[in-house]
Each structure stands twice: as structure tokens, then as C-alpha cells.
Amino acid sequence: MCSPPRGLRCPGRPPLRLPLLLALGLAAGPAPAQDLTLTLAAVDHPAFSLRQVRIHIADLAGGPADIDIGRLVVGGRKFRDLKLHCRRFDWSRERLACRDGTFKSEGRSALPLAFSYRLNRRLLDLRFTGADLAGAAALPQLAAYKPAGRFDAHLLAAPAKIEMSVKLADASFSSADGALAADHLGASLDLKAERRGGGWDWRGTVAWPRGEAYWAPLYHAGGTKLTASGRFAPGSLSVDRAVLSLDGIGSASGELQWGGGRLIEARVATGPLDLAVVVKQLLQPFLDLRAGPKLAAGGKGKIAVEWRQGVLEGLDLGLDDASIDANGLALSGVSARIPWRRDEATVAEFSTAGGRFGRLPLGAFTLPLAMHGFEFDAAHVGIPLLDGELLFDGFHAARENGQWRWRLGAALTPVSMPLLTATLGLPRMQGRLSATIPAIGYADSTLALDGALVVSVFDGYLAATGLKLIDPLGPLPRLTAEVELRHLDLGMLTETFSFGDITGYIDGDVRGLELQGARPLAFTADIRSSPGDYRKRISQRAVQNISSLGGAGAGAAIERSFLGFFKTFGYRRLGLSCRLLESGVCVMGGIENVPGGAGYLIVEGGGIPALSVIGYNRRVHWDELVSRLQAVIAGNSKPVIQ
């Protein structure tokens, strides 16, 4: 049997205007205490539904009462085995009321509560005051976060109007994996909704003035407020206006339409944002997840984004007097207006007052960028670099099948080597440096050179072909290339690196070069005298330094008596080679093997006195060879002269 109070409905039956039990208990007026037990199979309300309800009232005139609920459904969530105890329960024709009550779910501590229900208006007034968050975690999904702290909650629910407020005090929680956590959290939620037609018009505010929260990888400490309004109907949600304020960062406003389980339309626009804080708190954490570059920024920026049918349709980015620093590239005085559209041709304007690349200063430049969807083009860009210019031509980038591809050509106009080496803190070099790159492209996480990279240096040139840089933005990029050096002036080279004095020219080849980070993994390299008729002299110090590279057994085969009289010697040819093995050992060689196989010839003497330098150590670890080169340049080499 179902006998609900007026305003509550039994399944399959219309609401009863005057329940029989109420008539029996109240019609006679004052009477001795009456004990009542009421069982309801179901109670349905627009905001909630109850099943298997048992109400026991010790005194209809205002005594204690217990209510057991087999199942409560509210907001799409189901709760089972709920128990409500009221120290004072009032029941009249107009109202049900519970004072000084406690609410308990299975396995949870009791929560202090009070409520009233006006039968004629079908109005529920529910309050929790100073309740323990741990006791409120009736859902297993919430209990897993081990919430702590206190909360107050107030709900007014009528058929056509709902008002709700929740306040958290000193709240904390944490997921098992630590990816979501909060501590000393103070926050509030205020929500109002009114039924209009087949939906609800709503407005609400969420404030987070105190406490810390971490939602991997983002961390934020209070000072946040969100206000929003819109409309909700079955299967659809609209946000007519939302405003988010973040202390120390800035604000953003937006609107959206959601329906049919997908985003129909959305727009978000920010006010001026502090780029230093945005990058540090919102962008860098995501870069760190992917082992990306360290990024720093300053100045102000704005962004506006538009989606339609779940697809990004437009983005406007503005920068004012900004600064950017990433992976050694720093730009200052940056201004930008970037109006990107998916299906329209637009032009971005980018300019900077200058900057630096590592230690190299960069002058002011502008970058006009033509955009059409995910295709970008820049015809020509010139960036001042010391007394030269770095040129980029024919830049084209496009996104295809979710992957970015781009191509460009580049060149470096002649730069003073003395100025360049002084800027880089390197030994002084003479001459001028220039370079050309016919075309270089990026696809499938690989940077590849099309043609040859040619660098003019030391009165000769260096050419790299087959150049590939794999995973250039990763933690350990890998480089492969074939390198040739032709007609390098040994006089300029040895003067630069304090190697001693050698006149003449050398050629060289590095085949199968493979680097990971800055460490070589494999190569076969050899240097040798360039062909041709030219003056060939080598100083005593250069002889000593070359001897050092051959290892402890290297020596100069020369009559000892001549060393005190001659500072330089003639030579016919010179050469040195290294084949790097997987073990990190260099297999050394020279011009040719010495008869008998005891060593290899590094310098072949010519003229009077005759001078030859022979290396005897054929296997040298790469780290040891680098140490010897560093010692030679520092002037600390100690060869054995024979």
C-alpha cells in the first residue's frame, strides 16, 4: 500500500489530496503521542526520486523520526542505503520539517542536516552546516580521493526553480596517482535555475579565493572566479556568457553551444594576459611532459579562439612589446597580429626589435606571413647578424594528415671571422664566413637538407651532404651527414687554435657521420695534404703537438742535433685518420703504414732536414683523443721526441 502526503506521487496513481494517515493523526486535534510508521514504494520529484522509503515517527506532534531510503537518484547519481535521523520531526498538512537531523550513508560518518518540504508548493529546503567532507563521499568515485575538510550546503528545489549554494572550508583531497590534489582549499558555488518551456535558464558563480590545487601538470593557488549563465534542456546546453578571472594572469570571456553529444559552437577571448605567468603556469608544464624546450616570456598578449561543429575555425593572437626566450633563441620588443582562419586567406604581421641566438646578436626584422588554413608562406626574410645577414627564402609550411611539413632556402652573407669568434668567445680566426643552403625541409620529425650546405671558411670550404637531423626538438636529437673539407689554409687554422705553425693546405672527408646530442656514435674521418704546388713548412711546436695525438708511442724521427738549430721544417705531405667504432674507440691511421707495420706515418718529411712524424698507438678511445686535442690547444701536451 502507498499512502504519501499531498504533493508526492505514487507510481500509477494520482497525488492524494489528503492522506488517510494524516487525517487519523491530525483531524482530532491535540492527542497523546502517536507512533507512526509509513512505507512508500516511490517518491518522484523534478529534482530527485526516492525508492523503498520507510518513515518512522515517534510523535506526530514533533518528536524524533527516522527515515530509511533504499535508493536516492539525484543529478543522475544513485545512492543506496541512506539513513536520516531527526531529533525533532514536524508533520502538518502544509509542511514536513526535520530539525537537528543527521544524514548517513553506508560506511560514512553522519552529516548534520536540516530540511523542510512544503507540500502545497512542492518546495524542498535542505541544509548541511559544518559537515565533514569525508562523510559526504558516498560515491566510491569520491571516496577514492579521501576528501577532508568542512562544507556548508543549501538547496532550495521547487518544480520550476532551483537554488543551490556550497561552500568548502580548509578542504583537501588527492587521487591515488597524485595527478589530482588540493590542499587548504576554500571555494564556493552558487547556482540558480528557473524552468522556462522545456528547459532551464541558469546562472552561477564559482569562486576559489584560497588554497592550492594540482591537476597534472597544472598547479594554481587560489584567486580564481568564474561566472556564467545560459540554458539547459534535455540533450543540449548553452553558455550565453562566461567570465573567468585568474589573479596575476588576466581574464577571459566566452560562450558555447552543446547538443547531440558534441560541441556545436564556442568562442573564447581573453583580455591582456601576463605572458610571464601564462608561460610558467599554463604552457611550460605541458612542454615538460614531452621533454620540450624551456620557454620564458614577458609582456602582454591576447588570444581569441572560435570553434564550430567541434572544429577550430579561427584564432587571433596579439603580442605587445613581448619577449620570448626558448632554447637559446631570445627575441625582445616583439609585436604580432596573427588573424588565422581555417577557410580564409589572411596575413600575419610579426616584428621584433632584435634579440640573440646563443651569444650571437640579431638585429631588428619583420616577418610578413601569408596564411590560408594550415598553409603558411613567407617569400623573404632578412635577419641582421653581426656585419652580415641571415637570409631565408621560399618558406612554405603545411599540415598534412596530422603532420607538419615545411621547406625553405637559406644563406648567410659574409661575416667577419674575427668579429664572429670574439663574439662566441672562440680563438681568433681570420677571413670571412659565408654559407648557402639551397633547400631544407622538415617532415616526419626529421630535418633534411636537399643539396649541400656549403660554408666558406679558412680560405677554403666545408660542404655537408645527406644532412639529416632526427627528432630535432627531442631530448637527444640525432644527426647524420657526409662532410668534405677542401683547401683549408693550415696557416690560418693553426694560428686560430694555437697549434703551432704549419703552412700549406689540407683536404678532409668525414663519412658516415652520426651524432646523438653532441656525442659522435660513428664516422670514418681522414685529413690529408691538398694536391698542388705550395709552400709546406711545419714548426717544432706543431711537430710536438701532432706527435701527442699519436699517443704515448708517437715520436718525431729526426736527427736530434738539428732540433736546436731549426724552428721550422719542410714536409712533403701529412695526413691523419680515425674510424670510430661502436665501443667508442678510434682506430687511428695516417698517410701510410710504416714498413714493418710498427706504426703509421703522420708527417712525411721533405727537404733538409728531413722530418717524419710516426704514430704508434693505433687504438685510442674517443674521449682520450678529445682530451689530447684539448691539451694541445691549451699548450699542455708532452710528446716524446726521438
Nearest to 405 by CA among 450, 455, 344: 450
Quick: pLDDT tens for 116-172.
Answer: 999 888 999 999 999 998 877 766 667 788 899 999 999 999 999 999 999 999 999
Half-sphere exposure of 72 (CA within 13 A, CB side): 20
| pLDDT for position 255 | 97
Nearest to 357 by CA among 408, 282, 310, 415: 415
**Residue 448 confidence (pLDDT) above 80:** yes
pLDDT tier at 624, thresholds 50, 70, 90: confident
How many other CB atoms are found less than 10 A from the CB of residue 614?
21
| pLDDT for position 51 | 92
Nearest to 639 by CA among 563, 562, 527, 537: 563
Question: Distances from the Cα of 374 to the Cαs of 296, 342, 452, 458, in angstroms?
Answer: 26, 7, 29, 43
Q: Output the DSSP codes for 309-352.
A: TTEEEEEEEEEEEEEEEETTEEEEEEEEEEEEESSSEEEEEEEE
Quick: pLDDT tens for 464-474.
Answer: 999 999 988 77
Average pLDDT, integer, range 307-336:
94
275 φ, ψ (degrees, to nearest 5): -65, -30
What does the mean pLDDT of the chain come to?
86
pTM of structure: 0.72
Read off the amino acid at residue 249.
Answer: I
The span from the CA of 23 to the CA of 40, in Å, is 17
The span from the CA of 370 to the CA of 590, in Å, is 54
Convert 3-34 into a string of H (helix), E (strand) and C (coil).
CCCCCCCCCCCCCCCCCHHHHHHHCCCCCCCC
| pLDDT for position 194 | 96
Lowest model confidence (mean pLDDT) among 292-296, 354-358, 393-397: 292-296
| pLDDT for position 585 | 93
Helix axes 622-634, 540-549, angle to 10 degrees: 160
Task: List the Cα angle 338/342/347 in 5-degree steps.
Answer: 35
Nearest to 373 by CA among 355, 350, 346: 346
The span from the CA of 8 to the CA of 14, in Å, is 9
**Residue 538 confidence (pLDDT) above 70:** yes
Quick: pLDDT tens for 4-14.
Answer: 444 444 444 44
Lowest model confidence (mean pLDDT) among 221-230, 376-385, 556-565, 599-608: 556-565
The span from the CA of 163 to the CA of 159, in Å, is 12
Question: Are 547 and 554 a contacting pair, CB within 8 Å?
Answer: yes
Quick: pLDDT tens for 584-610.
Answer: 999 999 999 888 777 888 888 887 766
Sign, CA dihedral 216-220-221-223, equals negative
161 φ, ψ (degrees, to nearest 5): -155, 135
Nearest to 448 by CA among 464, 470, 474, 476: 470
How many other CB atoms are found less than 10 A from the CB of residue 543?
26
Please, what's the largest Cα pairwise distance for the chain?
Answer: 140
| pLDDT for position 30 | 40
- Placement of cell 502544509 in the chain: 94
The span from the CA of 14 to the CA of 28, in Å, is 26
**Residue 32 confidence (pLDDT) above 60:** no
